[in-house]
Structure formats: structure tokens, C-alpha cells
Structure 1
Amino acid sequence: MSKKRKKKEHHEEHVDESWLVPYADVLTLLLALFIVLYGMSSLDAKKFSAMAEVFNQEFQSGTGVLDFPSPAPSKEEKNLDTNEEVENNQDDSKSVSDEKLKELQKEQDQQELAEVQQKVNAYIEQNNLGGKLETELTDEGLHVSIRDNVLFASGSAEVRDADKNIVSEISKLLVMDPPRSIIVSGHTDNVPIHNSQYSSNWELSVTRALNFMKLLLENNELDPRAFSAKGFGEYQPIASNDTAEGREKNRRVDILIQPREEVTN
């Protein structure tokens, strides 16, 4: 009797199958993971991020397997970044090109002024005017300086008749195509003027510059719109007024042939 009972009880015992539940969960998680990984190449980044967050909340606590704080950028985002990079490179290239263009324009401009300087220097040499007419090429332009005793009597602003031919020859050298802006300026030494016609050296310098410019513009090939006249009196000396030689240099009429304006796009 006892043997039958024991045998019966032995057949009623079952194998513990509680391990199947976590095993099934692990399989489910692995399947979901492989599906997600398989679809990563075509899955939209925002949808992928949302799906990852759902899986992490459902299956994990804390940081989960699918927790990606920086998901791979979508094709649209990559294209946007590429376009921005191309635009930046184009801006940099345009800036470099503009700077190079300005440098080339400046070099060409200086070369043109140097050619004008050579013509003026040739005229000075041919007419034995060395020491009376001088030229200097700077970043401001081409300076042509004419001593006042070449053109004017002492204390006078009227160009002497005998010297008007010099003004006429200089006007021919100023014909350029297209025209350049030209400033004619009068200068004196610091010795006060003593006559009834001019009350100051400043007034004398202005009148000399204006009269000289009028004679230049008798050449119809020059454009009056490109010219202007200024008077500086004794306030822009190029030599010391303490000596007779220095004062002689300061009494002058200057012609400034300016660089062309830079082309802007």
C-alpha cells in the first residue's frame, strides 16, 4: 500500500518550468534589438529615438541598451550640413578672390601712374626743368610739384605769360582715358605777405591754385569734373622755413593725380 502511494506521488511531481518566462523575455528583447538594428540604415532619426526611448522604459531601468543620446544624423541633416559647408567655402573663396582682385587693381593702377610719371620726367629733362619740377609716386597717387618762381612773380597769383606754355604742356600730360581725379593745391612759405591784393598767404595760395587749374582746363581734352583746387598757405611745408632754400621749396603748386577708385561688386 505504501509502495503504491509513493509511486503515485512520484508521478504527480512536475519539472520546474519557471525559467521559461525570463528566457522568453530575453528572446523577445533580442528579436526586437535585431529588428531595430536591421532597420537603422533607413529609419528616420526622430522615429528611431522615440522607439529607443519606449524600449528603454519598457525593458530597462536607468540607461538601456537602446539609449542613444546622439542618434546617427538622417540623410536630410547630412545634406544640410554639407550645403552649409559648401556655402562657407564659397564665402571664403569669394573673400580671397575679392582681396586678390583689389591687389591686382592696385598694382595695375600704380603701373599706369608710373607711366605718367615717366612722361612728366621726360618733359622735365627735355626742357631743363630739373629742380623746378619734381615728381613722386606714393600710395596717395602721383605728385607733381612746381616751384612758384617757375610760374608766378613774387606776391602774385597770375601765371606769367612767358610760362603759360609750361602749363599747356603739363595739361597734355594729364590727359588720361578714363580720366583720374586731380587735385591742384597752392602752398607758400611762412613769411607774411605784404601787399594790398592778398591779406594772407592762405588767400594767395588758394588764388594761385585756382588760376593754375583754369589754365589747365583750357585743354578741352580734360574733364573739369575731375579737377578741384585747394589752398594750404604755409601749413603743409615740405622743407624747413628757417632757410632761404627751404622757403623756396615750400612756395609751390602741387598736382596730385589720384589712384582710380576700386571696383566694388
Structure 2
Amino acid sequence: MSDEAIQNNEEEEEEGAPAWVVTFGDLMSLLLCFFVLLLSFSEMDRQLYREVAGSMAKAFGVQRKIPTFDSPKGMKIIARDFDQEIIPNKERLEIIATQEKEEVGNELKKEVETSFKDIKDNIQIKTGKNQVTIRLMGETAFDSGKAEIKKQVIPLIRKIGAVLKGTKGDIIIAGHTDNVPITGGLYKSNLKLSIARAATVAEFLIDKPSVEPQRIATMGFGKYRPIESNDTPEGRQKNRRVEIILKSAHRP
């Protein structure tokens, strides 16, 4: 064989990787699969992982103070002493309840202003932290000594019922009177009259707007819970009232 042919054969043998590299690659692939299987069958120390990852996060300056309602659902890569301000559950429920009551109160106020202008001066709507109170004062809803709702007030009662139907929470209907004794008539005392008026309003709410009966409770307080002095006609007029109270459904 000539020198030129030998040189060509040597050059051909030098092209590409040596044959043993194929076997070595197969071996590495098998080792990788082996270690992946070992890792999948092993149990990871999550607490240790959090501490290590949290230390790294702190070293890079990512620790911060975050106010939130709920903790994140997934696994957190944070340090053990991560400073997280969580709003307590009780406070959270109070915030939700207040927002809901404000929405109901605003809706009713708007309805009274637009559709019941002639009697709006004798209607009070007050929103508290855990309840909204609708007061029908004076002879707005009832004639003196009677428990039948006036016809012109029935649409208002229906509207109140329609709004309350879309809410949650208990509904308390409380009747109140002034301290002037009743003489004659169907009801022998202010207490009995206040109870009858509360029951009448409850029947209207259950009847047409179909508010759930199990949510409604009626009470009669007679003259025993005045909001003004009974020494003046104006005070007595404000004390003669029916209150529809929506209680909060969110109780801490």
C-alpha cells in the first residue's frame, strides 16, 4: 500500500467521535434515570427546603411585609421568620358585613328618595357595622290605635321586602309606641298594639316579596324603648314607629 493510501486511512479514522463514546453516553443516560427514580421515591424535607430557600431569599433582599386576607395556598419559599400581616378572621367578617349593609342601605335610601318623596321625612334608614335599620315613624304606616297598614305605604313595604329577599341574615321587625295609654279599641295596651303591628309587617314581607319566613322574627316593645322624650308631641311621634332590622349573616 502506498504512503498516500495509508495517510488517507488515518484521516478517515480521525473523523467523528471514538466508538466508546456511544457506550459512555448510554451509561450516563442510565445513571440519570437511576437518580431520577431515587429522587422520586425519596421524601423531601420540606421544612429544611423552606429554611434553605428562605435564607437565600433573605440574602437577596426579597423579604417584605405583605398585608393579606389569606395565606397563599401553595408551598411558600420563605424564611421561617417571614413578616406577614394577616387580617384576623373576625375583622375580615366585620368588613364584609359592613360593606353588605352599606349597599342595602344605599339602595333603600335611593328608592325612598325617588319613589316615596311624600313620606320620606318619616322614614329613617341607618346603617351600622352589623345591621341596617329601616324606621317607619309616626302615623306613616298605621292609623292611631290600629294595626292595618295604610294603602299608600304597601308599595314601600313591598319594595323593602324585595331588597331584603336578595340578602342574607335574620330580619327583626319591632313595633314601638309612645307612652299615651290606649282607651277603647281592639288592643288593650300599647304592648299588644306594637306586637300586632310588627306581625302585620311580617305578613306582608312573607306574602308578596316571599321573604323566607324562617329569617323573620317579630317583637313588640310598646312604650318601653323610646328613642325620644315622650314629653313633647314631636318626641311621641318619633317613638311611635315600626323598625325593620336586617342583621348580619357573617358572625365571627
TM-score range, shorter chain: 0.5 to 0.7
Question: Structure 2 residue aligned with 1:175, among 162, 165, 178?
Answer: 165
For residues 216 and 148 of structure 1, what CA distance do their matches in structure 2 show? Answer: 20
**2:236 is the counterpart of 1:247:** yes
Pairs within 5 Å for 1:97-176: 100-126=88-114, 127-128=116-117, 129-176=119-166
Residue correspondences, number:
167
Q: Which runs of no fewer than 5 residues in structure 2 stay unpaired?
A: 1-84
SS in 2 for 1:151: coil
How far apart are residue 176 of structure 1 and its match? 2.2
Alpha-carbon distance in 1 for matches of 2:236, 2:213: 31
User: Counterpart in 2 of 1:211?
Assistant: 200
Moved over 6 A (4+): none
Aligned residue type for 1:233: G
Cα displacement (A) at 1:216: 1.1
Between the aligned partners of 1:117 and 1:182, the Cα distance in structure 2 is: 14
Letter of the structure 2 residue corresponding to residue 138 of structure 1: G
Structure 1 residues 137-188: Cα deviation after superposition (integer angstroms, max 9, x where no partner): 22451111011411111110111233222211111121224x3100000000
SS of match in other structure, 2:217: strand
- Against the structure 1 CA distance between its residues 192 and 140, is the aligned structure 2 distance closer, same or farther, given a 3 Å change threshold? farther
- Structure label with greater radius of gyration: 1
Counterpart residue identity of residue 137, structure 1: T
Q: Deviations over 1:229-258 (max 9, x none)?
A: 000001000111000000000000001110
TM-score, structure 1 normalization: 0.59
Q: State the SS of the aligned residue for 1:191.
A: coil
Counterparts of 1:19-98 in structure 2, within 5 Å, are none
Aligned residue in 2 for 1:230: 219
How far off is 1:220 after superposition?
4.7
> Secondary structure at the residue paired with 2:238?
helix
3-state SS of the aligned residue for 1:222?
coil
Report sequence identity in percent: 31
- Which of residues 153, 178, 189 is equivalent to 1:189? 178
**Cα pair distance change 1:245/1:201, threshold 3 Å:** same
- Write out per-residue CA displacement over residues 42-87 of structure 1, whole angstroms, 9 at most, x where no aligned residue: xxxxxxxxxxxxxxxxxxxxxxxxxxxxxxxxxxxxxxxxxxxxxx
| 1:258 counterpart residue number | 247
Q: Any idea what SS the aligned residue of 1:115 has?
A: helix
Judged with a 3 Å threshold, the aligned counterparts in structure 2 of structure 1 residues 210 and 200 are, in CA distance, closer, same or farther, namely same
| Distance change in 2, residues 1:197/1:240 (3 Å) | same
SS state of the match for residue 232, structure 1? strand
CA distance in 1, matches of 2:96, 2:129: 13
C-alpha distance in structure 2 between counterparts of 1:163 and 1:145, whole Å:
13
